[in-house]
Amino acid sequence: MSIFQSFVSEFSQAWLGAQDAVQGGHFWLLVLALLVACGFEFINGFHDTANAVATVIYTKSLKPWTAVSLSGICNFLGVFIGGTAVAMGIIKLLPVELLITNSLGVSLSMVFALLAAAIIWNFGTWYLGLPASSSHTMIGAILGIGLANAYASGAPIASGVNWSKAADIGLALLISPAFGFALSAGLLLLSKALMKNPEFHQAPKEGSTPPWKVRSLLVTTSAGVSFAHGSNDGQKGIGLIMLVLIGILPQQFALRPSHGPGDLKVAAAASEKLNTILHSDEIRVAANQPNPSLSLIAPAYADSAHDHPALKPDLAAAASAAQKIRDRLDGKTSISDLNRTDRLEVRAQILQLDRKLGKLEEEHAPVTFLRQWKQVKEARKELKSLTEYAPLWVVLMVALSLGIGTLFGWKRIVVTVGEKIGKSHLTYAQGASAELVAMSTIGVSAVAGLPVSTTHVLSSGIAGTMVAAKSGVQAKTVKSILAAWILTLPVSMGLSAGLFLFFLNFVSR
């Protein structure tokens, strides 16, 4: 089956399934939510594209429309073939169980509040020409929704967010600008030591283009940043749409719809294997080791296994989740054999099991020395394949939205990045250094499943090259960018939380 046929098949099944599950006006509200999510990615496209094309435009390597068109194509390809690791991180940030257990009206209020807050702040900073972070904006909106939902439902406010995942994402967003600044500055200094051609370290002359080698490097890095941006920021859009679908249509999207006959048997066998391993004496002894630095190997546990230590709470919870998954999947061969309750329960237990196993791996290093731990990781991966997915039509929608958005509105941010960060004109070496670091940092983060800000990595990289070249930075612009960086998270959190409570009290009733 071709990609086009797969897209048509998956989309038609989702459309018909949504019509059956959500009746009347609520169905069209769902369609509107998906279109608004695509609108966020469209704005993300023209908001962040400037970061990729500013250097090639201001070094006269490419004409503006050529640079923007190339960036749009690379953004599209980045989304389409960049994987879904970052998207899954976005989904895990908000406990999806909160969306699933709410009424349809509440879920729709959450979705529209999240989308509206992200778009308002993204569009506002673009209008002011500020290179603010779409990543910070989306993540702040998700955090605000989680906290507000917990407050409105009477649950402990802290339970509205997956704080472990939030900490990982927050650390990546915090470190990446400093990383971009330092590496870009270092790379520029290295290029000065190794590349003696003075032209490479000069600003472009009026009416001239750079030498072809320099031009090739700048165009390649610009395309690379665009591709990396698509693979990272595009995945955030995929995660956003999957949050919408899972929250409003959990019975259809809680588990991978396209799993074929026999796949659930594999998942059932994986959960049974996990349950058996988690009850083994070997695992129990390893989890009770007080010193993670001990060089323990599997045979060492056999001698002490006669103690039969009790299951630790995390082990017991993980084993219980594995058993519940096994019970739900017993005798089932495809997703269609599971009713709505079973699908939601299997998803919830897979998420709980995965969190517990991750915590066990982090806090009890001795278990990772066990021969059985390889089997645990394999079984864990098989189960996660049921929940960590994105339909082809979702990926294509985001890719098109980001790619087309790239063609519009780029000039405001380009002027800020190209003219207002440094006190002098951007040189070839500065542009190449900042782009190389941004491309590498964003690409590696996408593979690792960590959302980082293209805007902050590249703009801080350019600032780093200006400082390294001793040409200085424009304090007013840097202060504005820094203010946007500081304000984006709390403002987007407050916006989404306030809009959610407004919709909940005045619209969804």
Q: Mind listing the pLDDT tens digit for each residue in 36-92?
A: 888 888 888 877 766 778 778 877 888 888 988 898 899 899 888 877 888 887 777
Residues 40, 129: one domain? yes
Q: What is the pLDDT at residue 132? A: 72
Q: What is the pLDDT at residue 492? A: 92
Residues 248, 283: one domain? no
Helices within 102-211 (DSSP H only) = 104-127, 134-153, 163-194
> Of 183-197, 256-270, 314-328, 412-426, which gets the smallest average pLDDT?
412-426
The token pair at 475 is 């304090």
Q: Is residue 373 part of a domain?
A: yes
Residues 203, 64: one domain? yes
List C-alpha distances in Å: 18 to 98, 242, 245, 294: 20, 14, 9, 53
* 259 or 166: which leads in pLDDT: 166
Per residue, the 3-state secondary structure of 258-276, as one string, reads CCCCCHHHHHHHHHHHHHH
What mean pLDDT do residues 347-361 have?
Answer: 85
The token pair at 22 is 């959500």
Question: What is residue 55's three-state secondary structure?
Answer: helix
Q: Quick one: pLDDT band at residue 277, thresholds 50, 70, 90?
A: confident
Q: What is the pLDDT at residue 306? A: 46
Indicate the residue among 384, 415, 438 that finishes a domain. 384
Residue 235: which residues within 8 A CB-CB, separation 6 or more? 79, 82, 83, 84, 85, 86, 87, 90, 446, 451
Question: Which residue reads 């049921």 in tokens?
Answer: 386
Q: Is residue 10 part of a domain?
A: no
List C-alpha distances in Å: 290 to 39, 243, 299, 360: 51, 39, 18, 13
d(CA 175, CA 178): 6
Number of domains the chain contains: 2
d(CA 133, CA 135): 5
Residues 38, 184: one domain? yes
List C-alpha distances in Å: 250 to 147, 184, 316, 466: 21, 44, 27, 50
Residue 194: which residues within 8 A CB-CB, separation 6 or more? none
Question: What's the farthest any 2 CA atoms get from each other in the chain?
Answer: 82
Q: What is the pLDDT at residue 7? A: 64
List the one residue out of 87, 78, 85 whose CA is nearest residue 223: 78
Q: What is the pLDDT at residue 495? A: 94
Residues 171, 306: one domain? no
- Stated pTM of the model: 0.80
Residues 73, 177: one domain? yes
What mean pLDDT do residues 477-493 have?
Answer: 83
d(CA 41, CA 408): 12
Indicate the residue among 384, 416, 448 that finishes a domain. 384
| Residue 248 DSSP symbol | H
Residues in the chain, overall count: 509
Residues 78, 159: one domain? yes
d(CA 62, CA 221): 12
Residues 341, 232: one domain? no
Residues 228, 84: one domain? yes
d(CA 309, CA 327): 26
Residues 60, 150: one domain? yes
What mean pLDDT do residues 216-237 have?
Answer: 86
Full DSSP string of 59-126: TTSS-HHHHHHHHHHHHHHHHHHS-SHHHHHHHHHS-HHHHHHS-HHHHHHHHHHHHHHHHHHHHHHH
Q: What is the pLDDT at residue 499? A: 93
- The answer to whether the CB of 61 falls within 8 A of the CB of 212 is no
The identity of residue 467, as a single letter, is V
List C-alpha distances in Å: 471 to 179, 202, 468: 20, 12, 8
Q: What is the pLDDT at residue 441? A: 86
Q: Which residues of 398-418 are buried (b: 16+ CB within 10 A; e: fewer)?
A: bbbbbbbbbbebbebbbebbb
d(CA 329, CA 387): 14
Q: Quick one: pLDDT band at residue 174, thresholds 50, 70, 90?
A: confident
List C-alpha distances in Å: 12 to 6, 374, 387, 398, 399: 10, 39, 21, 17, 19
Indicate the burial class of 156 (C-beta count within 10 angstroms; 0-12, 13-18, 19 or more): exposed
Q: What is the pLDDT at residue 295? A: 42
Could you read off the pLDDT of 103-123 as tens digits, one per residue? 677 777 888 888 899 889 888
Residues 350, 475: one domain? no
* 46 or 353: which leads in pLDDT: 353
Q: Is residue 326 part of a domain?
A: yes
pLDDT at 211 over 90: no
Give 337-342 contacts, CB < 8 A, sequence gap 24+: 337/264, 338/255, 338/264, 340/250, 340/251
Could you read off the pLDDT of 294-339 as tens digits, one per residue? 443 334 444 444 455 666 777 888 888 899 999 998 888 888 788 8
Indicate the residue among 384, 411, 443 that finishes a domain. 384
- The answer to whether the CB of 139 falls within 8 A of the CB of 488 is no
Q: What is the pLDDT at residue 294? A: 42
Residue 440: which residues within 8 A CB-CB, separation 6 or more? none
d(CA 463, CA 54): 14
What is the rounded radius of gyration, in angstroms, for the C-alpha atoms of the chain?
25
Residues 250, 267: one domain? no
Q: What percentage of the chain exceeds 90 in pLDDT?
A: 6
Which range marks the domain in which residue 112 is found?
24-254+401-507
Could you read off the pLDDT of 1-36 as tens digits, one per residue? 566 666 667 777 777 776 666 666 678 878 888 888
